[in-house]
Structure 1
Amino acid sequence: MTKVELYKSRVFVTIIHLCALGQFAYGLYYSSFEVQRSYKLKTSVSRRLVPEALSQKVRFLSYWSLIIQALYYVVSLVNDFVGTNELAPKNAPTIRKFKDYLMATLAFPVALNVGVTFWTLYAIDRELVFPKVLDPVFPSWLNHVLHTNIMVFIVLELFTSYRAYPKRSKGLTGLAIFMVSYLIWIHIIKHYSGVWVYPVLEVLQLPQRIVFFVAVLGFTFALYLLGEFLNNIVWAKEVKLAKRKST
């Protein structure tokens, strides 16, 4: 069985979805109820990087990304049992259409945005995104669930489950609404709290922040196009064959 034929095995695809959902759901649980030890940190700047209340957690794109991943794999599991994983179904059920749209518009580009941006800044200067002072209270495995495994599983999903991409204008519009809403959200937080959610924004001047935000948006849109391109490349032959059989 080749990698592009794995979608034919419902058991295999379901196991992948269960593994992904299990760790992302546990990551949400742990970050919501177990990471409650910020009082051990000496500075207020460090404490705010370990959010305890839900209102603090939703400041971070990593948390939103984790919610998106958990939601996507819940939808995927529902589709595995009551929907269809066929390449070109004549009448795709609503759950399958929603799964495909969620993957294309949010799950893939946001996951790669979070992972690549985090580890790039971490490599440049980890103090900008994940200061060493957090190591005693924020386990490394949770850090990898938030910033590494989201990329691993969504790329694996790309190669094991086909999805029909929406019309590009609709897909990019959905992604733009989400990303712009988040950028507005962190500015609202800055207005009322007086501090930026991410330390990297504290060291940037206004022109640099504008360039940074534009670059983040441009990078995210590029990731959407990358996902669409890879999907078409990986599944091109199988889609053509499936369409021939259905006619």
Structure 2
Amino acid sequence: MDEDKKKKFLGLGVYTPVWLFYYYVSKQYDYVYRNNSSNYEAFVNLKRFGSFYFTGWNFTAQVYFLVIAIIHELSHLLGIPQNVSKYFGLIRHYLFTAIVFPCTMMVSFMFWGLYLIDRELVFPRSLDKFYPSWMTHSVHSFIILPIIAEINLPKEHGFEIIDFYHAVPVLTAFIISYEVSLITIYLVYGVWLYPIFKYLTWLQRLSFLIIVYSITVLLLYLGIFIQHLKKSKRVKFANTT
């Protein structure tokens, strides 16, 4: 087997088990919701509005990213026409750069940051009886691993990193869509998905959302910077061999 195919099998070897693990995690959440009828407010909100939490949006984005990445890796091994392979590659790179990297970093850092300050602001202690710690870590900690993998896995020849000014509109649309959904749920159902919003004024809430968006944009920039850094090292290594 030539070196290029070995590299592609490496990508499949990393992403396929991660996707299977994510599938298992999603089934475990379904199991928890089907087998618990607690009236505890935080659990009821998670059960009723689970798909509207930003953690869920990010998890879904990662699942789509993994599917596209696996298809893209397979396209090289199966000899799929180059234009089709490039199409999947473009979607993969856009999804990773514009959404997966910045949003995953935001979910992980924001969740654990608030958790350390006062976990009642983001994940009340009473929820521990419904969700074992490994499930909490699966959607707030483990999610960092696919990011590390994507940045370090070998890339195809001619790989181009998505430009910041092309990626930021995609990220902005994603974040604004979520924030509108968050506020709409409160206006319609009177429910703040994250307890921290209960303790803020409207000015503070809007300021908080703007700060979160700004930090996510900075994380987008950081992700692109790291990709360029890794690419320059690959080019330098290739030129010295």
Q: Structures share a fold, TM > 0.5?
A: yes
**As a proportion of its length, which structure holds more helix?**
2
**Does 2:56 match 1:60?**
no
Instruction: Quote the Cα distance in structure 2 between the aligned partners of 1:169 and 1:8.
Output: 34
Q: Give aligned-pair identity as a percent.
A: 25
Deviation string, structure 1 residues 128-175 (Cα, Å, up to 9, x no partner) = 111110111112111111100111221232122446322322200000
Q: Which residue of 1 aligns with 2:232?
A: 236
Q: Distance in 2 between matches of 1:198 and 1:16?
A: 33
CA distance in 1, matches of 2:37, 2:64: 31
Distance 1:75 1:239 in 2: 26
- The equivalent position to 2:114 in structure 1, one of 117, 121, 129, is 121
Q: Equivalent residue for 2:203?
A: 207
Q: 2:22 aligns with which of 24, 38, 51?
A: 24
Does residue 1:189 correspond to 2:185, yes or no?
Answer: yes
Aligned to 1:165, what secondary structure does the other structure show? coil
* 1:167-178 map, 5 Å: 167-178=163-174
Q: 1:39 aligns with which of 37, 46, 71?
A: 37
5+ unaligned residues in a row in structure 1: which ranges?
A: none
Q: Distance in 2 between matches of 1:38 and 1:216?
A: 33
Secondary structure of the 2:33 match is coil
Equivalent position amino acid for 1:204 in 2 = L
Which deviations, in whole Å up to 9, do the C-alpha atoms of 1:177-202 show, x marking residues without a partner? Answer: 00001000111100011121110111
TM-score, normalisation: structure 2 = 0.86
2:105–2:219 CA contact under 8 A, matched in 1 = yes
CA distance in 2 between counterparts of 1:123 and 1:66 reads 22
Residue 174 of structure 2 aligns to a residue in which SS? helix
Helix, strand or coil: the match of 1:39?
coil
CA distance in 2, matches of 1:25, 1:239: 36
Q: Aligned partners of 1:235 and 1:57: how far apart in 2?
A: 38
Shift of 1:241: 7.1
What's the Cα RMSD here?
2.7
Change over 3 Å in CA distance of 1:38–1:126 after alignment to 2: farther
Q: CA deviation at 1:110?
A: 0.9
Q: Please point out which of 129, 136, 140 is paired with 1:143.
A: 136
User: 2:38 and 2:190 mapped to 1: Cα distance?
Assistant: 23
Q: Which shifted more, 26-35 or 210-219?
A: 26-35
Asked if 1 retains the 8 angstrom alpha-carbon contact of 2:164 and 2:220, the reply is no
List gaps (5 residues or longer) in structure 2. none
How many residue pairs get aligned? The number is 232
